[in-house]
């Protein structure tokens, strides 16, 4: 498969962020309530209600979310999610309860849950135990971190299937992974699942990464000049039953000023695609020419970015082959985000439009999604703030 994520990873992140669930900045917020309404049916109906509570250190201490469906003319509760966390003990629990509906075979509510011990009050845990809807322990996980707060090992015990997966991460002084070793144990029999070794220039600049993950093999070689990347070679393949590595894909990219200028992709020694890149102060252009089965296709992507005087990205415009356009505009007031609008157009006539408005603290208060100028979904947010003494 052609690897094309060199240039537009940042833009891809922005695009995904515009479509994904909006993040809340919890500083000074005691609670936020979110109501999601669906407009695609005959009548609007609420599909989700959620409330999140924070302590005065902006740590999430509780979350409650109820999901609904509209079935046979009835507004039915389908599931309930709850998260509870005690920052003092670092222990918490989250659970999901499914309710009987005409679409499932449940006769009574079914609850699964996970207990955990947190490392950073967020998304890193030192210990978790997950239980199924029958109350049986099915998965147990333990993670270790170093003094820098970086993970050094993880042990995942799937009790239900009697398997253990163990990851061991060796890091250098800068925290970069120099070796990633993984072991699988199934019914008491241990095997090496992953062994990837990495070397760096000055502990931070990737020079070589080589190894395998199960039967998949890869190697990355970077070359630098005075600390700037000038070329990268990525080879991918698989390990045969004989133990020999067979390389079936190779990408060679040349760089200037730490930006790609050209790339060549080959499969089994045959050139499949070439990519050229061009940059100006506000515009990035990528042209990919690919030939498969005697058919040549060319994809041209032009992305323009405009920043304000505070270096806030305020306008993003991405055009792909005159067939798909993505555009996003962001509006700030005294450095605080106030509104985001995004559009996606296709040559077929399909159009998506999303508008999100924010309060003075930069948190969302409303988000509307439209398809072909028709409202399809709306999220409404209300906040309870801590009193400022």
The domain locations on the chain are 32-133, 298-384
**307: nearest Cα among 335, 338, 344:** 335
User: How confident is residue 21, by pLDDT bands cut at 50, 70 and 90?
Assistant: low
pLDDT of residue 9: 34
Rounded mean pLDDT of 220-243? 96
Enumerate residues 6+ apart whose C-beta is below 8 A from 259.
Answer: 7, 277, 279
Does residue 20 surpass a pLDDT of 80? no
Please list, residue by residue across 345-382, b when 16 or more beta carbons sit within 10 angstroms of its beta carbon and e when fewer do.
Answer: beeeeeebbbebbbeebebbbebbbbeeeeebbbbebe
Does residue 2 surpass a pLDDT of 70? no
Q: Percentage of the chain surpassing pLDDT 70? A: 94
Does residue 127 surpass a pLDDT of 90? yes
Does residue 7 surpass a pLDDT of 70? no
């Amino acid at each position: 498969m052609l690897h094309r994520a060199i240039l537009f990873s940042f833009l891809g992140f922005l695009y995904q962020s515009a479509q994904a669930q909006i993040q809340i900045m919890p500083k000074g917020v005691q609670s936020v309530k979110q109501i999601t309404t669906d407009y695609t049916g005959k009548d609007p109906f609420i599909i989700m209600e959620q409330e999140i509570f924070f302590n005065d250190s902006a740590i999430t201490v509780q979350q409650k979310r109820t999901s609904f469906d509209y079935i046979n003319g009835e507004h039915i509760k389908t599931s309930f999610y709850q998260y509870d966390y005690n920052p003092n003990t670092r222990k918490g629990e989250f659970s999901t309860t499914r309710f009987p509906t005409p679409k499932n075979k449940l006769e009574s509510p079914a609850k699964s849950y996970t207990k955990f011990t947190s490392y950073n009050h967020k998304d890193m845990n030192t210990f978790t135990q997950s239980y199924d809807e029958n109350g049986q322990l099915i998965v147990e996980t333990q993670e270790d971190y170093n003094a820098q707060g970086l993970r050094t090992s993880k042990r995942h015990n799937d009790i239900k299937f009697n398997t253990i997966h163990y990851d061991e991460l060796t890091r250098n002084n800068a925290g970069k992974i120099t070796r990633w070793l993984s072991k699988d144990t199934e019914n008491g029999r241990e095997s090496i699942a992953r062994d990837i070794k990495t070397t760096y220039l000055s502990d931070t600049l990737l020079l070589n990464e080589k190894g395998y993950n199960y039967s998949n093999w890869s190697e990355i070689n970077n070359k630098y000049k005075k600390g700037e990347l000038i070329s990268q070679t990525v080879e991918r393949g698989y390990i045969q039953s004989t133990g020999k590595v067979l390389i079936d894909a190779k990408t060679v990219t040349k760089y200037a000023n730490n930006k790609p200028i050209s790339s060549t992709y080959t499969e089994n020694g045959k050139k499949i695609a070439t990519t050229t890149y061009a940059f100006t102060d506000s515009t990035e252009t990528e042209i990919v020419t690919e030939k498969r089965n005697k058919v040549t296709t060319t994809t041209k992507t032009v992305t323009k970015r405009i920043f304000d005087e505070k270096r806030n990205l305020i306008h993003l415009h991405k055009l792909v082959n005159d067939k798909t356009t993505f555009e996003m505009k962001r509006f700030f007031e005294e450095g605080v985000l106030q509104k985001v609008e995004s559009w996606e157009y296709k040559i077929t006539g399909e159009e998506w439009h999303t508008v999100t408005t924010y309060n003075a603290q930069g948190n969302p208060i409303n988000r509307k999604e439209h398809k072909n100028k028709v409202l399809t979904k709306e999220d409404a947010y209300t906040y309870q703030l801590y009193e400022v003494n």
